[in-house]
Structure 1
Amino acid sequence: MEYLTGPLIAFVGIAALVICTPGPDTAMTIRNALLGGRSAGLATALGVSTGLAIWALATSAGLVALLIASEPLFLAVKYVGAAYLVWLGVQSLRAAFGPGALQQAIAQSPARGLRPRQAYVQGVVSDLSNPKIAAFFSSMLPQFAPAGATDFVSLAALGLLFSAMTLVWLTGYALATARMRDALRRPRVRRTLDGITGVTLISLGVKLASEDR
């Protein structure tokens, strides 16, 4: 009972601050909700949450420690993730400013948007290709385990709680974006948003690649 009023509350508070800070997962959810509507936005949120759950279980099983201990492997995952974000950003910029972008935006219909399955995969890949999450989990989860316990169940429970909180937060983003989608799909507004999203994703990719561990 004491744990429920102490370390767990502290963990929830810190997790909420981290989750609410905009980053690649937020940008991905907004992007896909604009492209594919509510279903794509929700699928992206679920994909991100799935990726977090995998990282949490890997951390609890001690596998993440191997990743962090191997600098070449850590860097490889980091650069793959950075390249993926940059690639998605370039795609958005092409949609905004490429040849015939305005005509394409006018002709595009909601039915031809991003499919939920694609959005889900993008969410999973985006999260799993960010080794910063692995480093964060490996340093954060043991600090808040009950009575200093570092067994698989205790660490996994905290990691899965973080994943569930992220799902709730990103679901809110997806629903809010989807509700505004009709107004935001006007051609010139859509091009502007594609441009902003593209620059954001590229910036996040460059930041990920240039950051130290």
Structure 2
Amino acid sequence: MTVTASLISFLIAISLLTVTPGLDTALVLRTAATEGPGNALRAALGINVGCLMWGAAVAFGAGELLAASELAYTALKWAGAAYLCWLGAQMLLRPRTGFELDAKPGGKDGARRNAAQNRMPGAAGVPGGRTRWFLRGLLSNLLNPKVGVFYISFLPQFVPAGEPVVPYTFGLSAIHVAVGVVWCGSLILATRPLGHLLRLPRVVKALDRITGAVFIGFGIKLALSRR
């Protein structure tokens, strides 16, 4: 795989992943709708700084190990392929039919959703002031181990043979952050229409199924790849 092919493939995959509704999208949209665009921007910045920190951890930790050990590379390759296929199958076979941005007051369902929001990583225990929203976004990302697992499974397969593993892997995470910044900015600028769109069952189901199919494809590609 050439560098150009690697970057194009990664950009397509990571862009699709970024626009698929998840915790980060919910946090940015909810903050923009209830606390204003400034605080939403701070939360988005915290989220993307968290991604960059996960990328650095994977690049300098797993990158060195992969470069030095053929056994570690093989084990991680198969584990990553299995994880991506499992994740893709879940999204493909069991797509969500809704995406809740906030909870309606009253009722058991509303109480459960409010309780879940209060337990969200970074939702409490952060100082006040303008830094509060940045730290909320940062902690919601850093305290989510799924981000690290995904990076370890996903990033190494886009490193072309012969390229330095550590800087290239970190560069891929930086590309993800750049895409994330653009997406978060779009969310903040178009909070109401995008929020309405992401509540439509057919949109959420379609995004889940498309992303799931892509993940399965990359998982198979990873399993068949050679160093």
Normalising by structure 2, we get a TM-score of 0.56
Within the alignment, does 1:80 sit opposite 2:102 as a pair?
no
Q: Distance in 2 between matches of 1:69 and 1:176?
A: 35
* Distance in 1 (alpha carbons) for counterparts of 2:220 and 2:174: 30
Using the TM superposition, give the Cα deviation of residue 68 of structure 1 relative to its aligned residue in structure 2, in angstroms: 4.8
CA separation in 2, counterparts of 1:46 and 1:200? 28
2:27 aligned with 1:36: yes
Q: Which amino acid aligns with 2:95?
A: L
AA at the equivalent of 2:214: L
| Equivalent-residue separation in structure 2 for 1:207 and 1:199 (angstroms) | 12
Q: 1:204 aligns with which of 214, 217, 227?
A: 214
Residues 172/210 of structure 1: CA separation in 2 closer, same or farther (3 Å cut): closer
Q: 1:57 aligns to what?
A: 64
Tell me how far 1:171 sits from its aligned partner. Answer: 1.9
CA distance in structure 1 between the aligned counterparts of 2:73 and 2:204, rounded to whole angstroms: 35
CA distance in 2, matches of 1:27, 1:80: 18
For the residue of structure 2 that corresponds to 1:207, the secondary structure is helix
**Aligned-residue CA RMSD (Å):** 3.8
- Map 1:161-180; keep pairs closer than 5 Å: 161-180=167-186
Aligned positions of 1:11-160 closer than 5 A: 15=3, 18-21=6-9, 22-31=11-20, 32=22, 33-37=24-28, 38=44, 39-60=46-67, 62-63=68-69, 65-68=70-73, 74-87=77-90, 89=91, 93-94=95-96, 97=97, 101=98, 104-105=100-101, 107=103, 112=117, 116-120=138-142, 121-130=145-154, 133=156, 136=159, 139-141=161-163, 158-160=164-166
Q: Does 1:186 align with 2:209?
A: no
CA contact (8 A) 1:25 1:127 kept: no
Report the CA distance between 1:207 and its aligned residue: 0.9
Taking a change above 3 Å as real, the CA distance of residues 93 and 176 of structure 1, as seen in their structure-2 partners, is: same
Instruction: Work out whether residues 87 and 212 of structure 2, in 8 Å CA contact, stay in contact via their aligned partners in 1.
Output: no
Instruction: Tell me if the contact between 1:34 and 1:178 (Cα under 8 Å) persists in the aligned partners.
Output: yes
Alpha-carbon distance, 1:42 to partner: 4.2
Residues 48, 167 of structure 1: 8 Å contact kept: yes
Give the C-alpha shift of residue 49 in structure 1: 4.6
- Which runs of 5 or more structure 2 residues have no equivalent in the other structure? 29-43, 105-112, 123-137
Q: How many residues align?
A: 170
Q: Distance in 2 between matches of 1:92 and 1:114?
A: 25
The 1-side partners of 2:174 and 2:159 are apart by 20
The answer for the alignment partner of 1:150 in structure 2 is none
- The alignment partner of 2:210 has SS state of helix
Instruction: Using structure 1 for the length normalisation, give the TM-score.
Output: 0.58
Distance in 2, Cα, partners of 1:106 & 1:36: 9
- Secondary structure of 1:173's partner? helix
Are the counterparts in 1 of residues 59 and 167 from structure 2 also a CA contact under 8 Å? no
The 1:136/1:105 distance shift into structure 2, 3 A limit, reads closer
CA 122–25 in structure 1, closer or farther in 2 if over 3 Å, else same: farther
Q: How much has 1:45 moved relative to structure 2?
A: 4.6
| Alpha-carbon distance change, 36 to 47 in structure 1, aligned in 2, over 3 angstroms | farther
Structure 1: segments with no counterpart, 5+ residues: 1-13, 142-157
